[in-house]
Amino acid sequence: MNRPVSLAAACASLSELWSPRVLARVNDQFLKVARVQGEFPWHTHEAEDELFLVLKGELTIGREAADGGAVTLHPGEIFVVPRGVRHATSAAEETWIALIETVTTLHTGSDQTLLTRSLEEQLRPLEPGCAVK
Amino acid sequence: MNRPVSLAAACASLSELWSPRVLARVNDQFLKVARVQGEFPWHTHEAEDELFLVLKGELTIGREAADGGAVTLHPGEIFVVPRGVRHATSAAEETWIALIETVTTLHTGSDQTLLTRSLEEQLRPLEPGCAVK
């Protein structure tokens, strides 16, 4: 990264829902962005925390009741799902989010779902000129 | 963290400039917020990358010329200073930023400056009701 990158411009350049794209690496974490709408399946990351930041829209993170139930994030709000907590995300309207995850985190946890994207897919470059200012 | 936290509300609750405060931990990284204005001294983190996100205002990150010179971030933009790159930050007007750093990162690198804040200072809770929605 040799120039600043706009999180919103990066989201705007994504053509697919629920398909996180890596924007930056900081230490052993990736910062990813995604456009989401509808429901993402329940899953667990046994060994990794996951941080969510909402950029636009509204994201609901369901957690199993023992872990505190659902929370809803609005633009500019963050929330961390600790390792081991089974969770699912949903958005009624189109919502843009940023994520911080360990480079090895599988975004659907140990479950392989129709929405699972490989790390190679997540590392594809964004369309030229869209993300980088 | 049991409820979403607003990055802007957390910044608004800070009373001191250049005094980062930890909002969340994700894996081995801290997400911090800070209010900044003026100039922060040149320093290097030999072993750790540092990610900046501007929330409000404008942040200039000076890098030694060999590493690409200065970049300026606007709201919603991110930039990563890789480990080993000597850098300094400045803001002409009051600027609110979020940072992602390894939990062990010293924010002035190996230099002890008048602006150095201990990790204990950075981990002090924010004023009740300000940061947590």
Complete domains list, chain A, with CATH: 7-106 (2.60.120.10)
- pTM for the structure as a whole: 0.88
More confident residue, B9 or A107: B9
Q: How many CB atoms lie within 10 A of CB B93?
A: 9
Residues of B in contact with A53 (CB under 8 A): 7
More confident residue, A130 or B19: B19
Distances in whole angstroms, Cα of residue A89 to Cα of each of A13, A39, B10, B21, B110 = 22, 6, 24, 28, 41
Global ipTM? 0.87
Q: A31-42, pLDDT tens digit by residue?
A: 999 999 999 999
Test mutation, A6, A13, A26, A48, chain B, max B CBs within 10 A: A26
- Selection from B5, B6, B21, B7 nearest residue B125 by Cα: B21
Q: B70-123, pLDDT tens digit by residue?
A: 999 999 999 999 999 999 999 999 999 999 999 987 777 776 777 777 778 888
CB contact under 8 A, B7 and A78: yes
* Nearest neighbour of A80 by CB, restricted to B24, B49, B79: B24
> Among the residues of chain B, which ranges form H helices?
7-12, 119-122
B114: closest CA of chain A, how far (Å): 27
